[in-house]
Copies of this chain bind each other. A is one copy, B any other.
Amino acid sequence: MSVQQYLEGKKNNNQPLSDNLYAKLQEDILTGRLKSGSKLTENHVCEKYKASRTPVREAIRQLEAEGLVQLIPNRGAFIIGLSERDISDIYVMRNGMEIQAASWAAERITDPELDQLTEIYEYMVFYTHKADIEKMRSINAAFHQIIYQSSHNRILQRQLNMFQTYLKFAAPDRYTPESLNEILAEHQSIYHAILTRDPASSALAMRDHLQRGAERNSAAPAEARAPEKEAI
Among B13, B72, B156, the residue within 8 A (CB) of A89 is B156
Confirm or deny: A183 has a beta carbon within 8 angstroms of a beta carbon on chain B. Answer: no
Whole-angstrom distance from the CB of A64 to the nearest CB of chain B?
A: 7
A33-70 CB mask vs B (1 if < 8 Å, else 0) is 00000000000000000000010011001101111001
A96 close to chain B: CB less than 8 A: yes
- Could you tell me if A153 and B89 are in contact, using CB atoms closer than 8 angstroms? yes
Q: Which of B65, B70, B80, B86 contacts A66 (CB 8 A)?
A: B65
* Nearest neighbor of A96 in chain B, beta-carbon distance: B96
Q: A62-B61, A73-B15 are in contact. Are A96 and B100 (CB under 8 A)?
A: yes
Kindly list chain B residues whose C-beta atoms are within 8 Å of the C-beta of A80.
154
Determine if A225 is an interface residue (Cβ-Cβ < 8 Å).
no
Known A93-B156, A100-B92, A156-B89; judge A16-B65 contact (CB<8 A).
no
A contact residues, range: 20 to 34
Residues of chain B lying within 8 A (CB to CB) of residue A14 = 70-73
Q: Are B100's CB and A67's CB within 8 A?
A: no
8 further contact pairs, Cβ within 8 A, besides A86-B154, A90-B155, A96-B97: A14-B72, A57-B58, A61-B62, A67-B158, A89-B104, A92-B100, A93-B155, A159-B159
How far in angstroms is the closest Cβ of chain B from A82? Answer: 9
Q: How far is the CA of A54 from the CA of B89 in the complex (A)?
A: 36
Q: Is A17 positioned at the interface, with any CB of B under 8 Å from its CB? A: yes
User: Quick one: CB contact mask for A10-44 with B, threshold 8 Å, 1 for yes?
Assistant: 00011111000000000000000000000000000
From residue A163, how far is it (CB to closest CB) to chain B in Å? 9
Sample 18 A-B pairs with CB under 8 A, ordered by A number: A14-B70, A16-B71, A54-B54, A61-B61, A61-B62, A62-B62, A62-B65, A65-B65, A67-B154, A67-B158, A86-B155, A89-B153, A89-B155, A89-B156, A92-B100, A93-B97, A96-B97, A159-B159
Smallest CB separation, A149 vs chain B (Å): 14
- A83-109 interface mask toward B, CB cutoff 8 Å, 1 = contact, 0 = none? 000100110110011001000100000
Q: Which residues of B contact A97 (CB under 8 A)?
A: 93, 96
Q: Which residues of B contact A57 (CB under 8 A)?
A: 54, 58
